[in-house]
Amino acid sequence: MVYPLALLLFSTPVVDATSGRELEQQLASVSALRIEELAELKAAAEVRKLQHQLQVAQLAAQIAEVDPQPAAHVTATENPLNTLKLLGVVGVDTQLRVWLQGDSRPYFVSVELPGPNGLKLVRQGHQLTLVQGQWRRDIALTEVR
């Protein structure tokens, strides 16, 4: 008896011709809805991207208003050592100290002791040279004891 029951199950069509067309229509309808949904998601992502770009531009404008770039910034072609104020040169025995002032407190540089940010003093006879990276500034001594 098991055999005829299995034969009955396998011989019965699961989908007939009319329900096949209905399934195709439903599949086409679902596909169209899914395509529309994907288009909406893409448009929403584009809107978020544009909103983000707008927010970045607004923040950049606010930062520019709050922190404007001062005109006193050193450009790449200006020697930053020229902005240092030479306060004096003090010599004791064979040691020389050059006192300078930038934006902060006064400080000194000597041949033996470099200054801040790699500022060095080089002495050649009566000629002193401040050296920092690629920049140089000569200091001529008018009186040497």
Alpha-carbon distances, residue 136 vs 39, 53, 57, 107, 117 (angstroms):
63, 44, 40, 18, 14
3-state helix, strand, coil in the chain (%, to 5): 45, 25, 30
- Residue 135's SS3 state is strand
Q: What is the pLDDT of residue 39?
A: 95
Could you tell me the sign of the dihedral formed by the alpha carbons of 54, 60, 62, 65, in that order?
negative
Name the residue ranges covered by the structural domains of the chain. Answer: 2-66, 80-140
pLDDT, tens digit, 9 for 90 and up, residues 94-127: 777 888 888 788 888 888 888 878 888 888 877 8
Could you tell me the sign of the dihedral formed by the alpha carbons of 13, 18, 19, 25, in that order?
positive
How much is the pTM? Answer: 0.44
Give the count of beta carbons closer than 10 Å to the beta carbon of residue 119: 21
- Average pLDDT along the chain: 80
Residue 17 has pLDDT above 70, yes or no: no
List alpha helices for the chain, DSSP H. 2-11, 17-66
Closest CA to 124 of 139, 135, 145, 108: 139
Token pair of 9 as six digits: 């199950």
Q: Are 108 and 98 a contacting pair, CB within 8 Å?
A: yes
pLDDT, tens digit, 9 for 90 and up, residues 43-97: 999 999 999 999 988 888 888 778 765 555 545 578 888 888 888 888 776 777 8
